[in-house]
């Protein structure tokens, strides 16, 4: 199972998704489909967020100068994790 961005321009991206289906269990196949679509959605969301990312220059908003801390590694805990 894998997804990758195969083409992108300023307003569109094209994703390719590969899903391995289980011929013995519909439930396992559905789980594989859900995982692959979730992974593709994460990549699409990341691309969407990056179009609003700044290059690090200060931004002037109503007279206040806002600065970026730059890219920071963050980790999140998913609801399904214990």
pLDDT per residue rounded down to tens, the chain (82 residues): 688 999 998 889 999 999 999 999 999 999 999 999 999 999 999 988 888 776 777 888 898 988 877 777 778 777 775 5
- Does 74 reside within a domain? no
- Does 42 reside within a domain? yes
pTM, to two decimals: 0.65
- The domain total for the chain is 1
What pLDDT is attached to residue 38? Answer: 95
- In the block, residue with structure tokens 């894998």: 2
Domain range spanning residue 51?
2-66
- Does 73 reside within a domain? no
Phi–psi pair at 14, nearest 5 degrees: -120, 125
Distance, C-alpha 41 to centroid of its chain: 6
């Amino acid at each position: 199972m894998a997804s990758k961005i195969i083409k992108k321009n300023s307003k569109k991206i094209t994703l390719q998704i590969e899903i391995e289906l289980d011929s013995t269990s519909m439930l396992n196949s559905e789980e594989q489909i859900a995982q692959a679509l979730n992974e593709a959605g994460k990549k699409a969301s990341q691309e969407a967020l990056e179009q609003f990312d700044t290059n690090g220059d200060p931004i002037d908003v109503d007279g206040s100068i806002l600065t970026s801390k730059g890219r920071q590694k963050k980790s999140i805990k998913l609801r399904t994790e214990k």
